[in-house]
Amino acid sequence: MFNVGDEVVYPMHGAGVIQSIEEKAILDEKQSYYIIKMPGEVKVMVPTAKAEEIGVRNIIDGESAQKVMKVLEKDSTEMSMNWNKRYRENMDKMKTGDIFEVADIVRNLSFKQKEKGLSTGEKKMLLNAKQILVSELVLAEKKDLGEVEEAVENKIEQAYEVHLTSMKDTIEEGNVVKKLIPLN
């Protein structure tokens, strides 16, 4: 059970603050709802009885926020070459509500965008994942939005530069792996 004033994360929407707990009758059924204020003056109603099942959780602490930022510093993890499969896999990761998975998506899709571009769906996913990531880091680190957005972008840019350097070194050393991909 969460309390009024708790900072929580609602998967697929980001971090917000529980403003109140209200009883509402919807379709002649009375239930208690968390009224969560999200970034951008959006309010979300979540049934209290299903909050944990839906994935509402407390935000991470400052120490965990630093670990999340470390995820952004790493090289990209392997993703499917097929954008449709990659999209489904990333959507499943986002639905978990795990901020470390969200950070992984932000980094990977940012790299992919810099290298080859993204499909329209993946561009929307990247924007949504960044919003979720930044909204939680703002509350966890008690910093303003612009400051956190800039820090996230800087981490990704630095990691991408390291990624490019390692790719260049691999090619120069002749360590390029060539795979045969069966067509059937």
Q: Domain 62-172 belongs to what topology? A: Methane Monooxygenase Hydroxylase; Chain G, domain 1 (1.20.58)
d(CA 95, CA 72): 19
Give the pLDDT confidence score for residue 76 in this predicted structure.
86
d(CA 16, CA 19): 9
Which CATH number applies to 7-58: 1.20.210.10, 2.40.10.170, 1.10.340.30, 3.90.870.10? 2.40.10.170
Give the pLDDT confidence score for residue 183 in this predicted structure.
60
Give the pLDDT confidence score for residue 172 in this predicted structure.
59
Tokens for 79, please give them: 């993703």
Query: Three-state SS for 118?
Result: coil
Domain positions in the chain are 7-58, 62-172
The reported pTM is 0.84
pLDDT tens for the 184 residues of the chain, in order: 899 999 999 888 899 999 999 999 988 889 999 999 988 788 999 999 999 998 899 999 999 999 999 999 998 888 888 888 999 999 999 988 899 999 999 999 999 999 988 999 999 999 999 999 999 999 999 999 999 999 999 999 999 999 888 777 666 555 555 555 556 5
Give the pLDDT confidence score for residue 80 in this predicted structure.
85
DSSP 31-97: EEEEEEEETTTEEEEEEGGGHHHHT-EEPP-HHHHHHHHHHHHSPPPP--SSHHHHHHHHHHHHHHT
d(CA 9, CA 139): 10
Give the pLDDT confidence score for residue 163 in this predicted structure.
85
Query: Residue 30 is inside which H or E element, if any?
Result: strand 29-38
**Is residue 112 a contact partner of residue 118, using CB atoms and an 8 Å limit?**
yes
Neighbours of 63 (CB within 10 A): 8
Tell me whether domains 7-58 and 62-172 share a fold: no
Neighbours of 97 (CB within 10 A): 19
